[in-house]
Structure 1
Amino acid sequence: MSNKNITTKLICSSSHNPWYNLAMEEHLLKQVKTNEIILYLWQNDNTIVVGRNQNPWKECRCKDFENNGGKIARRLSGGGTVFHDLGNLNFTFIMDKKLNNLNRQLKVILEAVNNLGVEANFSGRNDILVSGKKFSGNAFYEENASSYHHGTILVNSNIDNLITYLKVSKEKISSKGIDSVNSRVVNLKSIKNDITIENVKASIIKNFLKIYGGNPSIEYVNNSVYPLESLYSKYASWEWIYGETPKFDINFMNRFVWGEIDLNLKLDNGIIDSVVIYSDAMDSKLIKNIEMLLVKTPFKKESIFKNLNTICSDINTTNLIYDIKKWLETKVG
């Protein structure tokens, strides 16, 4: 699609409250128009954000963090847990699904940091790196005719707090061939001392308009001028952040190339009565679909595999389901 058919919009949040900023992100996802792409820039202060299907108790030191004034939030997208403070900038491309083009969206970010004197590249399933170290993690979500791609940019974040409060599994670290979180992440300011949040933000906006066109003014939002009571209540609620943690009869865990699966099952007379799957897999909706398909299924390999086979819709999903089935082959009778 040529740029002449695309409408662009720039929105910056002046709130540092994660529950408001995530509510605004979902609001924009529901409101984005046909052939429109929105660049949304936002910051959270002293916040841990878990992926849609993650267990916060496992991913971070929840009580210690909250006792020290931190907020815990849960986003719609999959992927892993991240730490946000005011040394970190978040970006979200919110768009008509037809405009979703990862290479083009990444070009906005990569050229923005390149223009500030940092040579960066996209690597793995969701990381942007400089000199082999990660300064940006990315995640994705789609709903009906809309989708978003969002990510973090470590500019001058407190890495010590990140290390203190996040619990990164040894399996995840070793799968990346490194020995600590500290050796894996980097602030842009440590690469080039004159980089700031403001000049990163300005460079991203400049490159967004260069690549997508248009000349919109920046709209600033916060809860006092743009209240989102219902969505805010959702993101701030205990139920959304923590959810229930019922007792399960069976727990299986494994780490795959594409992420971790922590499968919890409660049985009733040989039938799967309830399921919770914790995962940092990127496809958050797929994990929820697997949960729903397993409920009321006999705890037998043939029955479970039959249901799993119904969701092999594309090559990535097919490969993921194949991996899960191969793993469960030795777990289920």
Structure 2
Amino acid sequence: MLLINNTTVEPYFNQAVEEYLLNNVADDIVMIWQNQNAIIVGKHQNTLAEINFDFVNQNNIKVVRRLSGGGTVFHDLGNINFTFIKKYEGQNPKIDFKKFLNPVVQMLHKYGINAMFSGKNDLLINGKKISGNAEHIFHRQKKILHHGTLLFSSNLDFLRKSLSDNSAFYTDKAVKSIRSSVCNISDYLSENTGVEHFKNEMIEYFKNLYPTIKTYNFTESDRTMIKQIAGDKYSQWQWNYGYSPKYTFQKKIETEMGNVEILFDVEKGNISNVKIFLSFLPDAEIQNLNFALIGIEHKPEAIKNAINKLQLSNLKNIEFLNWFY
């Protein structure tokens, strides 16, 4: 078994790390790591339905889709992530969250934290969530990937605002996140312990738990290949947003100029079946607007470019992008 203390905090890189380790390292792995401000979306989720789009963009929070299913989580430097990658034998491995979470719970108990299992994949303190987890079986590699979060001293205000429920505008069959009350582990510690100290304690705990574990540091070759995966996949809009299951977007707004009604479908990131009505535009311009949006990607730059090319007089100097999110 290998122990990796991944000190890189770049979200695209760190999602690529897990894919690289799954495909290129034969040993079982425990990895401790952190991200700068980021939202990590489950593989089968509709990204736009899970995030507060305006807040995320205003605060330069990166949004990344991961390899596993489950719900959306928020990462920052007050949060510690752990990843287990383990080979399995036999033909029918089963998802077993407790198997991987037991060592984490035991470590928290060592600190006097009364962490408890809840539902299928959460850890709670006093009824509030401190850890969300996801797990996936990769049959081709015959490996199980388990990863989870530990809210230690996270910015909970940012967390709540980033993950504001936006699903009312979206109709889809995507996996939905379950919103929970959250808290920080640090609030329940008797001593003033920083996140870096707690992270190092986790690393030492796993060294003692698995006496034969070996520390592994990424080589330059590892980093080059991981950066390639990050650049080709995890930093790309098509993976992080365009991979979302087919959805319908519908929104009605009352503006100073009049009523706005937006309706369209999106599949593989591209807009179709557009039905937009603006009470302050002539019918001919509305028809041109509907036609101009067909086939473009559901992202701000594409929408803005398509509408600006039409030179619709009543939309000059109007912030119209929020109509589409």
TM-score range, shorter chain: 0.5 to 0.7
Farther-moved stretch of structure 1 (21-30 vs 220-229): 220-229
Where in structure 2 are there 5+ consecutive unaligned residues? 169-177, 251-264, 270-325
1:18 to 11, 18, 36: 11
Q: Distance in 1 between matches of 2:99 and 2:71?
A: 23
1:48 maps to which residue?
39
Superposition deviation, residue 215 in structure 1? 4.0
Q: Distance in 2 between matches of 1:71 and 1:249?
A: 24
Paired residue type of 2:65: R
2:85 to 71, 84, 94: 94
1:59 maps to which residue?
50
Conserved 8 A contact 1:88-1:157: yes
Superposition deviation, residue 184 in structure 1? 1.2
1:156 maps to which residue?
153
Give the paired residue count: 238
Conserved 8 A contact 1:32-1:95: no
1:205 maps to which residue?
203
SS of 1:228's partner is helix
Q: Distance in 2 between matches of 1:103 and 1:245?
A: 29
Please list the CA deviations of residues 135-180 of structure 1 after superposition, one character each: whole Å capped at 9, or x if unmatched.
0000011212111100000000000001111124799xxxxxxxx9
Conserved 8 A contact 2:117-2:123: yes
The reply on whether 1:129 has 2:134 as its aligned counterpart is no
Please list the CA deviations of residues 176-219 of structure 1 after superposition, one character each: whole Å capped at 9, or x if unmatched.
xxxx96x7101001111523323332333333334433142352
Q: TM-score, normalised by structure 2?
A: 0.64
Q: Distance in 1 between matches of 2:103 and 2:59?
A: 36
Q: Distance in 2 between matches of 1:117 and 1:105?
A: 20
Paired residue type of 1:134: K
Task: Evaluate the alpha carbon distance shift between residue 73 and residue 219 of structure 1 in structure 2; reply closer, same or farther with a 3 A threshold.
Answer: same
Alignment of 1:131-280 (within 5 A): 131-143=126-138, 144=140, 145-168=142-165, 184-192=181-189, 193-219=191-217, 225-233=223-231, 234-243=233-242
Conserved 8 A contact 2:242-2:268: no
Conserved 8 A contact 1:32-1:96: no
Farther-moved stretch of structure 1 (74-83 vs 215-224): 215-224
Paired residue type of 1:109: V
Superposition deviation, residue 29 in structure 1? 1.1
SS of 2:242's partner is coil
Paired residue type of 2:230: Y
Conserved 8 A contact 2:133-2:147: yes
Measured on the aligned residues, the alpha-carbon RMSD in Å equals: 3.3
Superposition deviation, residue 111 in structure 1? 1.4
Q: Distance in 2 between matches of 1:45 and 1:219?
A: 20
Conserved 8 A contact 1:52-1:78: yes
Please list the CA deviations of residues 51-92 of structure 1 after superposition, one character each: whole Å capped at 9, or x if unmatched.
111111111122431232211111011111111110001100
Q: TM-score, normalised by structure 1?
A: 0.63
Task: Evaluate the alpha carbon distance shift between residue 101 and residue 214 of structure 1 in structure 2; reply closer, same or farther with a 3 A threshold.
Answer: farther
Task: Evaluate the alpha carbon distance shift between residue 133 and residue 170 of structure 1 in structure 2; reply closer, same or farther with a 3 A threshold.
Answer: farther
Where in structure 1 are there 5+ consecutive unaligned residues? 1-7, 172-179, 252-265, 267-273, 277-333
Superposition deviation, residue 246 in structure 1? 9.3
Q: Percent identity?
A: 36
Superposition deviation, residue 133 in structure 1? 1.0
Q: Distance in 2 between matches of 1:214 and 1:242?
A: 41
Conserved 8 A contact 1:88-1:153: yes
1:310 maps to which residue?
none
Superposition deviation, residue 116 in structure 1? 1.7
Task: Evaluate the alpha carbon distance shift between residue 13 and residue 226 of structure 1 in structure 2; reply closer, same or farther with a 3 A threshold.
Answer: farther
Task: Evaluate the alpha carbon distance shift between residue 211 and residue 244 of structure 1 in structure 2; reply closer, same or farther with a 3 A threshold.
Answer: closer
SS of 1:95's partner is strand
Q: Distance in 1 between matches of 2:110 and 2:245?
A: 50
Paired residue type of 1:89: I
Q: Distance in 1 between matches of 2:248 and 2:49?
A: 19
Q: Distance in 2 between matches of 1:51 and 1:158?
A: 21
